Amino acid sequence: MKDLNTTPESSLQIKGAAHQNLQHDSAIKQVQGRADYTDDIPEPAGTLHAYLGVSTVAYAKIRGMDLSAVRAAPGVVTVLTAEDIPGVNDVSPTGKHDEPVFPTEKVEFHGQPLFAVIAETRDLARRAAELAKMDYEVLPHAIDAVSARLAGMPMVTDPLKLERGDVDSGLAEAPHRVRGRLIVGGQDHMYLEGHIAFAIPGEDDDVVVHCSTQHPSEAQHMVAHVLGVPSNAVVVNVRRMGGGFGGKESQMNLFCAVAAIGAKKLNRPVKIRPDRDQDMTATGKRHDFVIDYDLGFDSEGRIQAVDSQFAARCGYSSDLSGPVTDRALFHADNAYFYPNVRLTSCPQKTNTVSNTAFRGFGGPQGVVAAERMIEEIAYALGKDPLEVRKANFYGEPGDGRTLTPYHQEVEDNVIGRIVEELEESADYQARRTAILAENAKGGVIRRGIALTPVKFGISFTATWYNQAGALIHIYNDGSIHLNHGGTEMGQGLNTKVAQVVAEAFQVDFDCIKITKTTTEKVPNTSATAASSGSDLNGMAALDAAEQIKARLVKFAAESRGIKESAVRFGPNQIRIGEEVVAFAAFIREAYMARVHLSAAGFYKTPKIHWDRAAGKGRPFYYYAYGASCSEVAIDTLTGEYRVERTDILHDVGRSLNPILDKGQVEGAFIQGMGWLTTEELWWDKEGRLRTHAPSTYKIPLASDRPRIFNVNLADWSENREMTIKRSKAVGEPPFMLGISVFEALSMAVASVADYRECPRLEAPATPERVLMAVERLKAGV
């Protein structure tokens, strides 16, 4: 089989080929404010604006809803309720029919959308929405996983169990055994651009929806579903998003549906854009988890058996909680081999907003649990946690230490080399020794250092999502039009895919026009998620390019009477035997000869399969690896802290664009650090989310970044699998590098009790929690 991923030497002579550093294609426009987002689309005359009316209780039967004052408010054109939905009142992404656009019988969380006001202006719609008079029969509610389980609330989907070996015997026979609980908080996506949808009605059943979504095809199907029309009547367009992080994978469905229902009912364009408070209260977050573990290990720190349960706050509906909690189990081993293991999930229903996808998709919660268990072993045995980590790494094929809890062999393990190189480059051992000596002096300021690894599986665990399409046109002047099924949310996907196409045709990057993602051109697309955007869409685009190239080569050979092997693509030109023709001139010649200059490409990930009922299979095509070393300093009188230094070495295979990949690693680390330190979601007893704006919800600032921040890519790495140009995914894996900060904070806290006890910090480790842990250890409680 021909390897289409090889890079010709001539590609070094064109601007913007794969593996080159190239600026994000929209960077200048974004900095200058010229990049168009959904809210920048010129509004046609007659455009109306929608706003949601929401519940003010957490759980209740709806006895009545008086909207007369709403309808009579200034500027109101109509009010949409469940009765106005011509199709099915459901936008559940998993087909469980448990997520109504507007509920008719029960309110299931505080802030749940109940109706939508459509008015002449957004401000008038927003004011009118407050005038509704609701009659509720309030019911007892439960807002966290533990209390919901105790109250007998069901799970939102079937749980998963992964098991291998004899866990009970392994635990009973282990020389050492520890039981514990880890509480891991959720996280709001806090994208710069909130949710927004803009629907423009067409003739017959047609409607065009411009929106900010990571999953245009799902939005298309959901709009068709609620309108009661076929999917071919709905077009969804996405030029770019101002951030997504998973929050725009399924949560956009509601907004698209409301805009489309209003537009078709009134035959006028309708836009809906909630303010930040409503965006945060009405849409899902990262799942917070309560993780119970029972751990057996020997005197060398090697794990003998693990039995762990992962209970997640899923919210009132299933949304994506099934696959999220599944992936948490898939990553509960991180980079470590468990000889005997049993992992179970509990996707618990609660009276809160339905939690959803977030960068890492449950993986970070699994990885942090693995690191907590390593930490428990280290403190129990008085060892350096890094020593324990190394002792438990997966091995090499044939040594009996490569089988995951889900029975997939780890065949591409490079974590040992990555950790070894980072340990040396970060001067870990000398710095740890110095920190131990400094802490032994007993000062107010205590330091901590931790080096943590990550192994992250790449692929959608729903096998059918591992497919992508692309469309390429070459116009007769030689310019190239590229469209693919992925969405651009700032990560540089369009730039990378265009680099692949530029290299394939051996033309400069500037010759390629990247157009909006639209369901009109590439159908049945998967979400841009699971770190698979470049893997899937890059390969689909390459397939399309190779189809056109094959036609061009055949035409060149036939027109000159030479063999096809004598035709070569060079820098902005084609060499046909001894003749050299400029690319644009040759394309014109091919057009005049009626050569087809368009192709639809397709790709599906090979080798993967998954049997959820059996808990066995190969859900991941390959793994991405990385490691980070972080040093922190805490004030034991206040709990405040800062990150002094972080060193990262991350594996992206043979990078498609090193500078963009490095940016992804940096951003992911900071976001992961924020999840575990400053970003705290808090609901009051009434079930109201009180951290619903930047004033109360704290993401990391520029001043929170490590004082010294060294980020490097493992330039020696090359993917063993035939991915696009032998690269590896980079969106999600580096998010978990932020765990090194959490572990370093734990070491600093442990120093006040001479490292005799695992501090068992809860996440996020806010200054308050750090201070409470310090005081608890000082008191010996």
Distance CA 671, CA 665 (A): 10
Residue 472 contacts residue 501 (beta carbons within 8 Å) = yes
Structure tokens at 91: 């936008």
- Of the listed 631, 732, 762, 775, which one is catalytic? 732
Residue at 486: amino acid letter: G
SS3 category, 290: strand
The position carrying tokens 């026979």 is: 173
Sign of CA dihedral 769, 771, 772, 778: positive
Q: Which stretches of 561-607 are DSSP H helices?
A: 583-592
Q: Which stretches of 216-362 are DSSP H helices?
A: 216-227, 252-266, 276-282, 321-330
User: Is residue 640 annotated as a catalytic residue, yes or no?
Assistant: no
Residue 715 contacts residue 680 (beta carbons within 8 Å) = no
Strand partners, 582: 573
C-alpha distances out from residue 99 to 109, 157, 567, 738, Å = 12, 13, 57, 33
Count CB atoms within 10 A of the CB of residue 474: 26
SS3 category, 503: helix
Residue 459 contacts residue 620 (beta carbons within 8 Å) = yes
Distance CA 178, CA 293 (A): 8
Structure tokens at 58: 């957490």
Write out the DSSP string of 107-140.
Answer: E-STT-EEEEEEESSHHHHHHHHTT-EEEEEE--
Count CB atoms within 10 A of the CB of residue 780: 8
SS3 category, 459: coil
Structure tokens at 689: 């989310």
Q: For residue 448, give the nearest of 734, 759, 670, 667 by alpha carbon.
A: 759
Q: For residue 180, give the nearest of 61, 278, 306 by alpha carbon.
A: 306
Active site residues: 732
